[in-house]
Amino acid sequence: MRILDALSEGAIIAELNATEKKQVLEELTVPLAKDSGVNHEEMVRVLLEREHLGSTGIGDGIAIPHGKLKSIQSLLMAFGRSRKGVDFEAIDRKPAHLFFLLLAPEDCAGTHLRMLARLSHLLKDATFRERLMSAADAEELYAVIAEEDNDF
């Protein structure tokens, strides 16, 4: 499973304006709602419900907010970066800087879990995280992700 099967360059935000968790989710879902036609508020609601179960801030400056929606047919993904960092209630209590947001169809548990595992595996690599943090813009972020995605 490749990340770029679900992530388009238009869903990459090189510098998030958000300063809190809900704002991150709102900002990242805007391009997904626009491209998919799915209600933006519904996306945010599902993601916040998942966050109430436990933070998706996994530490090392990473968060992978995710959820499931009945109204979509395939995986939707967005990526955002915050150089300042956002308190995402991460397991290590440090701010998150790199956000991969994933929405999956409700009946697609296997695909959803495989993508979460893929992202987690890639993001364990400190060099990959550093390259994402130092990329100049959305185009370069996409290229960094594409390069790692092709190496898998």
143 dihedral zone (left: phi>0; alpha: psi -120 to 50; beta): alpha
What angle (nearest 5°) sits at the alpha carbon of residue 84, between those of residues 82 and 90?
A: 75
Name the residue with tokens 């990242």: 28
- The number of beta carbons lying within 10 Å of the beta carbon of residue 101 is 26
Tokens of 138: 């959305």
C-alpha–C-alpha distance, residues 90 and 123, integer Å: 15
C-alpha–C-alpha distance, residues 14 and 142, integer Å: 10
Indicate which residues carry an active-site annotation.
Answer: 66
| Amino acid identity, position 41 | E
